[in-house]
Amino acid sequence: MVKIEVDTEVYEKLGEIAIPFKETNPNMVIRRLLGLSGNKILDSEMASGVRQIQTNEKFQTISQPQTESLKLDNVNQYIDELRNVSSETHPAFLTFLMDKYHNAKGNYKTSNIVEFMEEINLQLPNGTFRNPWMKAPYGGEKNGLISCQRTIEHFKQTRKFGCWGGKDVKENCNSVNECIYHPENEVKMQNKCDLRNGVIWKRTSPDSPFTYGAYYLEVIKKQLLKGHTIPLKPLVKIVFPEKSYNAKLIERFKTDFHFNEEELNTLFTK
């Protein structure tokens, strides 16, 4: 048997076009595409009883749907890639992504971050949670579950980047008497303001719904992305690890995360 190397993208595509339950390895898919009849038994099948193909990293088995181990391996790869190409990003950008995904405009709970990270594949095989823009996975109790929930970057950022008096910019707010949410005001309130940061979310009263500030994209680009854009491909591949990256998948990402065209073009590079 001659062994060939295939890259991850080719391997994923073969898995996508395999006939469920019938074609259980890449060789079977390739034989069909080449018009070859039957299924020649591979040497590795004779030896182990498992249909395999050797990639540039390890033996992998194609199934339908794609095996969970391959999916997790790819996610780890794309998390590392995303961090390498956007290392300047503030960890709180993950909260903004969660907010867009739920289309909540700030109306989320601390516990929401856990289900969000599970859903978009930011929980590693060992159970720990991984923010791509933090140096290391969350550690400690329950595989980092507690530190994931309590992280300042995720949840106190609503204080940093919010205005509870309904303003779009934090100007002329240095007086304690200007706003009950002033950081030095003695009134005990959960949402104190941070005058050093611009407005992403705002609300006019404790009972009113959150909205985005008029200049929220500028604030995100300047303070969370440090003036950069995030390459879209590795992020999309984390969210949809079993799919091929193309225009259709970008459109699905845009829909699922409720991004309009301006947001997508301002924050990401396709």
Average pLDDT (240-255) is 93
Q: Note the maximum CA span of the chain.
A: 83
In a domain, 136, yes or no: no
pLDDT (tens digit per residue) in 149-173: 776 556 666 678 889 899 999 988 8
Sign of the CA dihedral with 210 first, then 214, 217, and 221 last: negative
In a domain, 30, yes or no: yes
Lowest mean pLDDT among 39-48, 52-61, 64-73, 204-213: 52-61
Average pLDDT (189-196) is 84
pLDDT (tens digit per residue) in 55-64: 444 444 444 3
> Which residue range forms the structural domain that includes residue 56?
8-66
pTM (2 d.p.) = 0.69
Query: 3-state DSSP call for residue 100?
Result: helix
Residue 15, C-beta contacts closer than 8 angstroms, at least 6 positions apart = 62, 63, 64, 65, 66, 70, 242
In a domain, 41, yes or no: yes
In a domain, 82, yes or no: no
Domain count, the chain: 1
In a domain, 44, yes or no: yes
Q: Is the pLDDT of residue 144 over 80?
A: no
In a domain, 225, yes or no: no
In a domain, 12, yes or no: yes
In a domain, 91, yes or no: no
